[in-house]
A and B are shown apart, each in its own frame.
Chain A
């Protein structure tokens, strides 16, 4: 007799535990307000990334097309996987002195691991992280970017 009672108890406890689980899913079924899906490409306009989001490395330019990069190459040394290459040239400044300046700051997005060492170690804060995250392209060569804009100059007062 005791075994039968135990058997029935087992069944009832089992069914009860199943019902508890069903209560959870049932509750969510009837509360569509809790849906968390984001309709991604449609909400592009309202989508705000976090301010520190590491989307890609960029070189901010001001409105006069000036950047802060002196071409020192510290970012290149710090990059663990060689995604940055700084090509510098010698220029003559207005007062006749020869000076090293940046020719091309090449950034290979396809190799970047977003470790933030370049941005953190830049002595003149020339690099920053951009919020852009839709990087998909059909040609891998398009992922090699030149960060300094054509014709851009070193910002005054940055050494």
Chain B
């Protein structure tokens, strides 16, 4: 097939072209950014993707709905549980299965724990991007506590595969509630340290405030969701707008700022950790008794049709779009992954800032490359 490779401004003579990635410390994986610079100032950023493309959408077309779950873990591995939940909710909605409260509440708690650990890692790696290596270790130290909870209940630490259509794989561990409460107590004490170390730090503020501004119109037009979008004032929290699982029965605030700069993208995540802890607080003592999974047929066949489900992962809005023809395998599965769409805005907001700012902006978008490539 004939290709139309368009010549962009990247190859003009006077520009200084740098390949940032695919092996670069601050692209958090195998993202390759081709920068054209003028001195230190970034004139154009062009992402080149596909270094970790695994064709998950193609693979989904040949496996059953239960088996899709474990592939979604590998997209955004930091919100693995939420990705699982998206597919499960979609399948349950298609089959019109009523999910008991116990499952809903456990799913919500696990989702919020996932969100907390993801934001902890964000904090850690964002600090490292800006040159404060100590943050990285503090962030990982605290994240380990959440991972221990996951390991105890789900059997694995990061790629949990804990959801299945109709409920959960296993019941929660008897220690679960105690452990979660211990963690909340522990983390409430540690969170002020995050602020002392980074949020209030004058160097950090200089590096982030006013850098990479994204206006509300652009945020909506570029489809930037999640904490990055909410920092620009884009009210896009699916948990609020289309409550799924048990989000309709908890009180929490949608963190919204209007500044839309790197600092507020960062700060929105710090605030979200607090909100997530509040949500868990409201639910942890109210897990009703009941089965941990609804009995489903061993072979799930979705009725013919199209199903779309959105959930709020730690990075934004994940949409799962399933087209079924009534067979046990889907015809088409599309994951609208938040990182992929958020990456599109990078060139727009990083232009005319310095390389150091590009690192900060890229870090504040909290990119997970396997989620971009799928």
A129 to B161, CA, bound (A): 14
Q: Is the CB of A23 within 8 A of B63?
A: no
Q: List 25 A-B contacts (CB under 8 A).
A: A18-B202, A20-B200, A21-B196, A21-B197, A21-B200, A23-B196, A24-B193, A24-B197, A36-B144, A50-B148, A52-B153, A53-B151, A53-B156, A54-B156, A80-B63, A80-B67, A114-B155, A114-B156, A115-B67, A115-B69, A116-B169, A117-B67, A120-B164, A121-B298, A129-B155
Q: Is the CB of A114 within 8 A of B161?
A: yes
Taking the closest CB of chain B, its distance from the CB of A122, in whole angstroms, is 12
Q: List residues of chain A with CB within 8 A of the CB of B113.
A: none
Q: Is the CB of B203 within 8 A of A18?
A: yes
A153 contacts the other chain (CB 8 A): no
Pairs A-B, 6 closest by C-beta atoms? A115-B70, A80-B67, A14-B202, A52-B155, A54-B155, A20-B196
A25 contacts the other chain (CB 8 A): yes
Chain A residues packing against B (C-beta within 8 Å): 13-15, 17-18, 20-21, 23-25, 36, 50-54, 78, 80, 113-117, 120-121, 129
Q: List residues of chain B with CB within 8 A of the CB of A117.
A: 66-67, 70
* CB under 8 Å from chain A, chain B span 163-181: 164, 169-170, 173
Q: Is the CB of B161 within 8 A of A115?
A: yes
B141 contacts the other chain (CB 8 A): yes
B152 contacts the other chain (CB 8 A): yes
A18 to B151, CA, bound (A): 37
**B155 touches which of A20, A23, A50 (Cβ 8 Å):** A50
A115 to B198, CA, bound (A): 38
Chain B residues packing against A (C-beta within 8 Å): 63, 66-67, 69-71, 74, 134, 141, 144, 148, 151-156, 159, 161, 164, 169-170, 173, 193, 196-198, 200-203, 205, 298
Q: List residues of chain B with CB within 8 A of the CB of A23.
A: 196
A115 to B156, CA, bound (A): 10
Chain B residue with Cβ nearest A14: B202
A21 to B193, CA, bound (A): 8
Q: Is the CB of B71 within 8 A of A17?
A: no
A15 to B154, CA, bound (A): 46
Q: Is the CB of B70 within 8 A of A80?
A: yes
Taking the closest CB of chain A, its distance from the CB of B292, in whole angstroms, is 12
Q: Is the CB of A17 within 8 A of B202?
A: yes
Q: List residues of chain B with CB within 8 A of the CB of A121.
A: 298
